[in-house]
Structure 1
Amino acid sequence: MSQHDLVIVANRLPVDSRTLPDGATEWVTSPGGLVTAMESVMKGVDSGAWVGWAGSPGEAPDPFEADGMHLYPVRLEAEDVEKYYEGFSNGTLWPLYHDVIVDPEFHRTWWDSYVAVNRRFAKAAAEVASPGGTIWVHDYQLQLVPEMIRSERPDVRIGFFNHIPFPPLELFSQLPKRNQVLRGLLGADLVGFQRESDALNFTAAARKLLGYQVDQHTVTVPGIGASEPRQVLAKCFPISIDAGAITALTEDPELRERAAQLRRDLGDPKRIVLGVDRLDYTKGIRHRLKAWGELLNDDLIDPSETVLVQVATPSRERVDAYRQLRDEVELTVGRINGDFAPIGRPAISYLHRSFDRRDMTALYMAADVALVTSLRDGMNLVAKEYVASRPDLRGVLVLSEFTGAADELRAAILVNPHDIDDLKSSVLRALTMSEEEQEEAMRSLRRQVLDHDVQTWAKLFLEDLEEIGRTAKPGRPAIRLHGEDAPARAELEEALAAFARTPRILVASDFDGVIAPIVADRDAVQPDPRSLTALRELTELPGVNVALVSGRALADLDHHTRMPSTVALIGSHGAEVGALPADFHADVLDAAALTMDDSKQSLLESIIRRLRLISSQYPGTEVEIKPTAAVLHTRQARGRGAGNATEAALEYARTLPDVYVTPGKKVVEFSVVHTSKGSAVQALARAAAADAVLYLGDDVTDETVFTVLDEGDLGIKVGAGDTAAQWRIADTEAAAQLLTALRERRGQDR
């Protein structure tokens, strides 16, 4: 799979599928500011990619190219669309983030789907990013993705941009999974918002809900256990439009004629007032129609001279709140037209459909007034599109003060759409504004929009992200194998043969998941006798040393393996070292770091008490106690208990600056002594004077070994998952076969 310097991650790909007459599928670039911005950004990098959903539930298309971009589709099933997209994203987050104009719904199954889909997006992005590359995640549907990517790819720079508002603490606190969402966002290096108030709301939530230190726009994220803290910048980056492209369209004679024809189609009114919105309850369409109906009823507007054109683009029509809104809007439009429209001309021309960029620009050019009456909006690009469409310096923008655009477009007529009287007077003022006043205001508005276009927005964001990346400490090396990718079997056999011919070798392996299949009951584990036999027999060959390196306590490992003294046993991720074989140089192993003292013992007892408290809250979880560590096991937890218990344990871990915390497969280990499998294997290799090392591992903890192996060593991942190992085999069956083959090859060569 190819890797790319810049990876964009968004809910949708930047293309829409279109079926041709012959049945073939054609991909057409989607309209929209984000797509436009990213197109220009992609041209400035050697290799750019976009990860997103193709728009149809079911199996995702294979990766493909369109308009010079490498596109990687993410699969969404119909149930994902229902629960992740329509459910948690648009039934929970959207209303909550838009000031609870409509009550949000909270359903735990929606959250489960949101987590699962976010993990799918994160995995796809992590797989295609180049070492040290940049991943830019977009919008509220993917708020968990930054932290998920960081856990897999700490070597990359991660940016997140929230295109909608971020709510005040009092509203955000209603979200049941609020802390998980905050930590998901804080996985990024840079979190961008539309308005300064949004950035301040976010930092206030991080300070009040998570207890993190905040210094102006910088949030200090504690490391897990003893890992170092990180600095996350939360900042305002108001998004914009491709203003130059829209202005250029207005010079097209065909488009100018189209604008003139629109006026004729509407009966050549003296004034055209335009509203362009997605059919969404946040856009204030009902308030706008109420004000327009009252203006007509009060005889302040003559319907034979002035017409309102309302474009309502279809949106989320499977969601109840949106179906209800459409019924209300269409009923209101019909009533107003029935009461006030002259014969042959509507009082309101209502258009419930989408328009392409050219037709929309023609509408903007024809309109004397644009009404943007959002009750809450992250930005609202319609306001900026209208301004960009008026190089003639005519037209009036009436703009809600509750939009992000209101922070920049100060020369517009700013209005509180909740105040119907204020809205009515603002419309009348716009309709009677002189040409001189229009020109003065539009000149100021156009200067703002043209000087701060979408390309500038993207450039500023990426420059800040790159600057943060320069000061950040590098993460672990990039993964070598993604997902289930694996070199050809013949290549592994060739490497194994070369390893078998090496004069002195160390063969080391994890236990659970490699020598023994993972089972729910840890005490019922059954190691593969073929693997144990191969390991024992390898120790009988000259120049071979063997070690089992496990997260289990040493006594537990010994009990389940019953290995001879010729096999070195390392427990508790290196914190416990068993009796070493006679040919090991024991003095090479530095045991000083493993010493327990009273303070460490006291700390360990405190951790055990806390983990037992967490375990008592989530049935099925259990706490294992080791000489230098305590482990929370969640494999047998019921329902959502595994995830919730892990979350509680990791939240506790951030309060322990001197403890080494290792999340693994259904486990979280807290060690008061700094050890890792990687350092243990390195010490074993020195003690054995090994020329090369072979290591078999399946867990996250085994990555500490794979990342320190040298050229000529063999790191072999057992099972699926991204890994720093250069080789992969399928399972414990394959591990037994590999160890047996190594024993046979080594015996033949000797």
Structure 2
Amino acid sequence: MTAPEPIRDDELYVDHVYDMIVVSNRLPVDYESGSDGQTQWKSSPGGLVTALEPVMRAADGAWIGWAGVADREFDPFEHDGISIIPVPLSESELEEYYEGFSNDTLWPLYHDVIAPPSFHREWWEAYVRVNRRFAEAAARAASDGAVVWVHDYQLQLVPRMLREKRPDLVIGFFNHIPFPAYGIYSQLPWRRQVLDGLLGADVIGFQRAADAGNFSRAVRRLFGHPTRGTVIEVPGDREESRRVVARHFPISIDAAGFEEIARRPEVQQRAREIRESLGNPETIMLGVDRLDYTKGIRHRIKAFGELLHEGRLDVESTILVQVASPSRERVETYRQLRDEIELAVGRINGDYSTLEHQAIAYLHHGYPREEMVALYLAADVMLVTALRDGMNLVAKEYVASRFDDDGVLLLSEFTGASDELRQAVLVNPHDIEGLKDAFVEAVRMPKRERSRRMRALRKRVRDNDVAKWSATFLETLTGAGIIRPGVPESLLSALNRIAETERLLVALDFDGTLAPLVDRPEDARATIRARGAIERLASSEDTRVAIVSGRALDSLNEVASPPDGTLLSGSHGVELQLDAGVATIDLRDAELAKLERLSSILDDVAATADGAWIEEKPAGRALHTRKLNAEAGTALQKVARDKVAGELVGITVRTGKAVLEFAVRSSDKGESLTRLRQHVGATATIYVGDDVTDEDAFAALDAEDIGVKVGQGKSIATFRVRSPEDVAEMLELLADARDAARGAPSRWP
């Protein structure tokens, strides 16, 4: 049998770009081969999918990950409304990148060396290679300024790789497992490379505050970067330093979903059947874990066995049900762990079970969610005795399922969940005597005390569910979180307030704000609703409308077809069309000479890429790359930036969406907005824009003004809407509010 051809990173291709991308080792779907030989995909829903599904749908999102099958390549596809982009892994990469470096180097190291980690250079090389493949796929799939959210320890190098290829992106990373103290982390031979990879992100999330602190301390020790609170200052190569946020965002579950399942009559009936099948004991103690040495399964079995030996518990009244789902069975450490646990279970059952009553019911396989919820309802005591765990969602699943306000959660203090679920019985699983006492306390706890604790636990889980987790992370990352369609109530209130002002200036960007973005800029047109709302506002007394664009004024006039009386700002304020006519900044001879040389340089650059073109502006030139794929466009812009920087000084460079603008005379939308305000004597202003260049205008607003950012991306604007269609609705509501508020005679100069 011949070995498969190695996977080439440059063969990964996507024919569509997305505004929101999730990158994780595994896709949210599992591959199944149908009986007819056709490829089938089955959803593998989990907390992460539940949290991100509404975000993906709202923001035109895609999910990048491995399909779970080695040496197979799959084309991108749609599944249940989510775009899926599979990344292939070879069998050797699965062994070295995943089973090797991820799970036999990083996993034990990050879990406080409960098992000894292995360090192999070939594993590290595979880890780098696979991380680069994921980064390549994300770079190709991301639209300009897209949000990319990378997940977990298998992909820690992706943020830096992605930032180097696509500096326009907003990049987040979330680490689902612990991050160790420096004394442990420092053992990693590639410790600097991993930290540098993570520092490519804008926001790095951890499960616990202690994990975020460990990371920041490691950065200070190894790089000397200044840190203040949760902010790390990361120096740039040729640009200003970046601020990276490293803080905790404790993950959670779909609490309402688990409660809904638990309330189903058939699930409650199944819970009763489970108790009956176990002999209707007084107490069922339950452990649900992946078969992993970090979960403390051996410790709880040892403690339970000693309690039976001492007579403090007996098999007639108490049974331990241990669900240990298979995990990494090709790794030798995990095979040994299974042998040890099954030997211990067999010994205890042999010593203490009777014909009528089993001491331990040991189940080495997974169950569907409905069966797990039935087990949670059947269990009187939930045992979570992990030696080290980033969070442990089983604890939260148990609490969410207990709508009857009964049951006891016994929880290791070495889990992230213990930071939140303080009403659980907290234990140190290494202290076997203390663990035994906690078992007995949980079994004998009065019902009133059980209910009091469970009510408090359930409120905590309900108030901090997985949707809140994802929204909090994305809000920190983008300043926006999940952008719902329509006009939010907070913005509507602000519109009603500003409509009362004496003289209102409504200033609007054009491309991506009034008009959807298109491949050919000359084809852009404002939506019908937006144009109608602008005409209404322009006809209102004491209201002026201005369109503020990076386009040259001639181009803006052509595509916008502005209503009479509309003020125009083109070329980022270099050109202004006011009531008295057009005002353009005159260039000096030296600036004209620079402009001529700039044109020559950019023409040469654009000629190397089919689809790139140069737009002439009065004080500069713009390189447009929208017709190129995002990665090729970014690369071409870098070439242009470097060549211009190498030959010309004093050139202002401005990055927009698929456009790089160079100006020999500095001006921006903030300066333009200030001139427009002064010209009309506005007492209040609303500015709406979608691009990086609009941030200058948002910065020029006063406290009583309104700034509205369209779409995702970092912004200092106070409010957000999702799309040009929502902008149109917002302008209609503003026109309604202005009509209701007007009445005084016009006071425009």
Using the alignment, how far apart are the partners of 1:715 and 1:685 within structure 2? 23
Cα deviation 1:236-282 (Å, max 9, x = unaligned): 10000000000011111111111111111111111110000000000
Using the alignment, how far apart are the partners of 1:143 and 1:221 within structure 2? 17
Pairing partner for 1:8 from 9, 19, 22 = 22
Pairing partner for 1:181 from 194, 211, 229 = 194
Is 1:39 equivalent to 2:53 in the alignment? yes
Deviation, 1:302, is 1.1
Pairing partner for 2:281 from 248, 269, 272 = 269
Pairing partner for 2:605 from 695, 701, 705 = 695
CA, structure 1 residues 129+434, in 2 after alignment: closer, same or farther (shift >3 Å)?
Answer: same
CA, structure 1 residues 218+347, in 2 after alignment: closer, same or farther (shift >3 Å)?
Answer: same
CA, structure 1 residues 589+422, in 2 after alignment: closer, same or farther (shift >3 Å)?
Answer: same
What amino acid sits opposite 2:24 in the alignment?
A
Deviation, 1:713, is 9.3
Is 1:51 equivalent to 2:93 in the alignment? no
Is 1:110 equivalent to 2:123 in the alignment? yes
CA, structure 1 residues 301+130, in 2 after alignment: closer, same or farther (shift >3 Å)?
Answer: same
Pairing partner for 2:149 from 136, 143, 146 = 136
Could you say which residue in structure 2 is the equivalent of 1:172?
A: 185
CA, structure 1 residues 683+271, in 2 after alignment: closer, same or farther (shift >3 Å)?
Answer: farther
SS at match of 2:244: strand
What amino acid sits opposite 2:435 in the alignment?
L
Deviation, 1:433, is 0.7
What amino acid sits opposite 2:352 in the alignment?
F
Could you say which residue in structure 1 is the equivalent of 2:443?
A: 431
CA, structure 1 residues 687+138, in 2 after alignment: closer, same or farther (shift >3 Å)?
Answer: closer
Using the alignment, how far apart are the partners of 1:338 and 1:371 within structure 2? 22
SS at match of 1:694: helix
Deviation, 1:229, is 0.6
Could you say which residue in structure 1 is the equivalent of 2:255?
A: 243
1:600-619 equivalences under 5 Å are none
Cα deviation 1:567-613 (Å, max 9, x = unaligned): xxxxxxxxxxxxxxxxxxxx9999xxxxxxxxxxxxxxxxxxxxxxx
Using the alignment, how far apart are the partners of 2:255 and 2:79 within structure 1? 23
Deviation, 1:300, is 1.2
What amino acid sits opposite 2:369 in the alignment?
R
Using the alignment, how far apart are the partners of 2:625 and 2:286 within structure 1? 67
Cα deviation 1:132-160 (Å, max 9, x = unaligned): 11000000000010011111111111110
What amino acid sits opposite 2:426 in the alignment?
L
Deviation, 1:3, is 1.3
Deviation, 1:712, is 9.1
Could you say which residue in structure 1 is the equivalent of 2:94?
A: 81
What amino acid sits opposite 1:388 in the alignment?
A
Q: Are the aligned partners of 2:626 and 2:633 in contact in 1 as well (CA < 8 Å)?
A: no
Is 1:325 equivalent to 2:337 in the alignment? yes
Q: Are the aligned partners of 2:165 and 2:635 in contact in 1 as well (CA < 8 Å)?
A: no
Deviation, 1:117, is 0.4
CA, structure 1 residues 346+152, in 2 after alignment: closer, same or farther (shift >3 Å)?
Answer: same
CA, structure 1 residues 451+397, in 2 after alignment: closer, same or farther (shift >3 Å)?
Answer: same
Could you say which residue in structure 1 is the equivalent of 2:744?
A: none
Using the alignment, how far apart are the partners of 2:623 and 2:294 within structure 1? 61
Using the alignment, how far apart are the partners of 1:706 and 1:357 within structure 2? 57
Cα deviation 1:176-205 (Å, max 9, x = unaligned): 111111111110000001000001001101
Deviation, 1:26, is 2.1
Is 1:297 equivalent to 2:309 in the alignment? yes
Deviation, 1:424, is 0.4
Could you say which residue in structure 2 is the equivalent of 1:316?
A: 328
Q: Are the aligned partners of 1:696 and 1:715 in contact in 2 as well (CA < 8 Å)?
A: no
What amino acid sits opposite 1:378 in the alignment?
G
Cα deviation 1:524-564 (Å, max 9, x = unaligned): xxxxxxxxxxxxxxxxxxxxxxxxxxxxxxxxxxxxxxxxx
Could you say which residue in structure 1 is the equivalent of 2:355?
A: 343
Using the alignment, how far apart are the partners of 1:85 and 1:706 within structure 2? 48
Q: Are the aligned partners of 1:74 and 1:120 in contact in 2 as well (CA < 8 Å)?
A: yes
Q: Are the aligned partners of 1:588 and 1:686 in contact in 2 as well (CA < 8 Å)?
A: no
SS at match of 1:164: coil
Structure 2 gap segments, 5+ residues each: 1-14, 482-518, 521-587, 640-749
Is 1:18 equivalent to 2:29 in the alignment? no
Deviation, 1:2, is 1.2
Using the alignment, how far apart are the partners of 1:168 and 1:365 within structure 2? 38
Is 1:353 equivalent to 2:365 in the alignment? yes
- Matched residue pairs, number? 517
Could you say which residue in structure 2 is the equivalent of 1:191?
A: 204
What amino acid sits opposite 1:9 in the alignment?
V
Using the alignment, how far apart are the partners of 1:137 and 1:72 within structure 2? 14
TM-score under structure 2 normalisation?
0.65
Pairing partner for 2:41 from 27, 48, 61 = 27
SS at match of 2:605: strand
Deviation, 1:60, is 2.0
What amino acid sits opposite 1:5 in the alignment?
D
Cα deviation 1:333-388 (Å, max 9, x = unaligned): 11111111111432100000011110100000000000000000000000000000
Cα deviation 1:469-509 (Å, max 9, x = unaligned): 9xxxxxxxxxxxxxxxxx9xxx9xxxxxxxxxxxxxxxxxx
Could you say which residue in structure 1 is the equivalent of 2:452?
A: 440
Using the alignment, how far apart are the partners of 1:431 and 1:41 within structure 2? 42
Is 1:467 equivalent to 2:482 in the alignment? no
Is 1:453 equivalent to 2:465 in the alignment? yes
CA, structure 1 residues 692+96, in 2 after alignment: closer, same or farther (shift >3 Å)?
Answer: closer
Using the alignment, how far apart are the partners of 2:74 and 2:627 within structure 1? 31
Using the alignment, how far apart are the partners of 2:451 and 2:370 within structure 1? 24
TM-score under structure 1 normalisation?
0.65
Could you say which residue in structure 2 is the equivalent of 1:119?
A: 132
Could you say which residue in structure 2 is the equivalent of 1:380?
A: 392
Deviation, 1:8, is 0.4
SS at match of 1:461: helix
Using the alignment, how far apart are the partners of 1:261 and 1:165 within structure 2? 38
What amino acid sits opposite 2:279 in the alignment?
G
Using the alignment, how far apart are the partners of 1:456 and 1:173 within structure 2? 34
Q: Are the aligned partners of 1:397 and 1:412 in contact in 2 as well (CA < 8 Å)?
A: yes
Is 1:233 equivalent to 2:228 in the alignment? no
Is 1:208 equivalent to 2:221 in the alignment? yes
Is 1:153 equivalent to 2:166 in the alignment? yes
1:625-704 equivalences under 5 Å are 686-687=596-597, 693-695=603-605
SS at match of 1:695: helix
Q: Are the aligned partners of 1:706 and 1:724 in contact in 2 as well (CA < 8 Å)?
A: no
1:344-423 equivalences under 5 Å are 344-423=356-435
Q: Are the aligned partners of 2:615 and 2:623 in contact in 1 as well (CA < 8 Å)?
A: no
Using the alignment, how far apart are the partners of 1:196 and 1:289 within structure 2? 31
CA, structure 1 residues 62+429, in 2 after alignment: closer, same or farther (shift >3 Å)?
Answer: same
Using the alignment, how far apart are the partners of 1:409 and 1:707 within structure 2? 61
Deviation, 1:690, is 5.1
Q: Are the aligned partners of 1:194 and 1:236 in contact in 2 as well (CA < 8 Å)?
A: yes
SS at match of 2:286: strand
CA, structure 1 residues 294+710, in 2 after alignment: closer, same or farther (shift >3 Å)?
Answer: same
Using the alignment, how far apart are the partners of 1:149 and 1:723 within structure 2? 12
Using the alignment, how far apart are the partners of 1:689 and 1:142 within structure 2? 42
Deviation, 1:227, is 2.0
Using the alignment, how far apart are the partners of 1:263 and 1:273 within structure 2? 11
Cα deviation 1:378-411 (Å, max 9, x = unaligned): 0000000000010101100000000000000000
Pairing partner for 1:96 from 100, 105, 109 = 109
